[in-house]
Structure 1
Amino acid sequence: MRNILLLLFVITAGCINSQEKSNQTTLSQTVSEDFSFFYSKFYSDTSYQSERTLKPLRGTIKEWDDDVVKEESWDNKKVTMAPKEKFLQIYKNLKSDLIKKDTLVIEKYWIEQSGFQVEKKFILKSGKWYLYSYDLSNL
């Protein structure tokens, strides 16, 4: 009888412990990184920026080159980005927009009637934010 009670106790304790671990895992999977925290760190730390840029980075670079529009992808290019605040210091007429959804944030800034426009897309993947797409146009 003692052995049965001991066995029953061990099984019950194991089940409770297993359920607690399951609840902790579920809780950690549902908590997502705060975008504002990510955004601030992304622009202040180039190593973090590199870690949080999905490869291959989608998007294009468009610019004039000898009277022809040249379009390139980001393949095999080192991508380091300055925050739009740096552009605001230089270009007082810079317009910007930040569109936030649950799993997607689109950051845009541009100078009207100049051909300059930047669009970055950040996605939430496994609870963490990543740069997914970067379009740069300077025509």
Structure 2
Amino acid sequence: MLIVPNGPKATLWPRRVLVGWDSRPEASRAVREALGLLCAAEEVRVALVDPKANYNGNSAEPGADIAAHLTRHGARVSIDLLPSAGKPAATVLAQHATDISADMIVIGAYGSRRLRERLFGGVTRWIVEKPTLPLFLAR
């Protein structure tokens, strides 16, 4: 699903794309479905918020596996390990997207249980409700 907020100019061929990565199936699906966009982009930044090695599918180097996968497909990738400093992951990702002048964010949608997501929010809910730039979501 592609969500385009009012204001920013949207394109199906963004130059700089931020991928919110957490090694979950939803994130993997989002990357797989956005692969054409990611390979055509001038720069792909894979962002991990408070990653831990060997946790939730991360290798000893968090983000290295997805970066290698994208590189094999021709994408120009760099990894950004972001500290949350107590802020929600969505806030950190949105701020980082602004800081790097991203044209689009690619994330997996609704990785948490729907009831929990509805009651307490989450990255997907927060980013979808307050998008600042186009979002490519996959579930």
Coarse TM-score class (shorter-chain normalised): under 0.3
- Max radius of gyration: which structure? 1
More strand by share: 1
Give the TM-score of the pair, scaled to structure 1.
0.26
Give the TM-score of the pair, scaled to structure 2.
0.26
Relative contact order, higher structure (CA 8 A, sep 6+): 2
